[in-house]
Amino acid sequence: MKIKNILIIFLSILCLYFFLSAKIKDKQNNKIISQNTTLPGDTKRSFTVENRKVIYKYRKQNATVNNSAATGKKEEENIALETYYFAPEGEVEISQKQDDSFEINVKNKGFTFKPFAGGFFNSKKVFDYGLGARVIYYNRFGLGFLLSVEAGAALALDRRLDDVLPFENTSFMIYGSGRSFGLGLAVYL
């Protein structure tokens, strides 16, 4: 019983560490990018979609254009940076308004059906495995159901690890049923 509790606490602390370090790293990267970002010439804005994120760079209202080639000195640009995450189940829509501004709509929540297979350590000190599906998502979090060998039918809560691991289809999962509960990893099929 003690080994199981120690293992669950260790996995929880490890996941918390990865989550917080990814958040800190993302914040530091955004700060560095915004400080070193320039937009060429009279470009007012640019969009980049990479690694499940939309990066929106734009000049603030009172920004000056960098004419270092003409004047021989570098002027400070006032560039803003906004980052939007979208889940693999979600989508992004960028639309231009009448006043030449842009609107970014990110669908980060909704219903889906994403099947997964996973391996878990459960409360009976047994390695468990099963199949299931994510049916509701919000950003990187999801709720679904699981059919496992030991637990039978269970409710599963997951968090995608695409910001920590280089794989887009991996999640950390916690499940619970009347028979047992467990922690593990799931891979979306």
- 3-state SS, 143-174, equals EEEEEECCCEEEEEEEEECCCCCCCCCEEEEE
Close Cβ partners of 23 (under 8 Å, ≥ 6 residues apart)? none
pLDDT reading at 77 higher than 80 = no
Query: Six-digit token pair at 164?
Result: 């920590």
86 φ, ψ to 5°? -135, 135
The residue assigned the tokens 């979609």 is 49
Residue 74 DSSP class: P
Query: Six-digit token pair at 32?
Result: 């560095």
CA distance 28 to 6: 33
Look at residue 71 in the predicted model and tell me its pLDDT: 47
CA distance 90 to 67: 40
pTM of the model: 0.64
Q: Quick one: average pLDDT of 66-73?
A: 47
Q: Quick one: average pLDDT of 76-88?
A: 72
Question: Regarding predicted confidence, which is higher, 145 or 68?
Answer: 145
Predicted confidence (pLDDT) per residue in 147-165, tens digit: 988 778 889 999 888 877 7
Question: Regarding predicted confidence, which is higher, 65 or 105?
Answer: 105
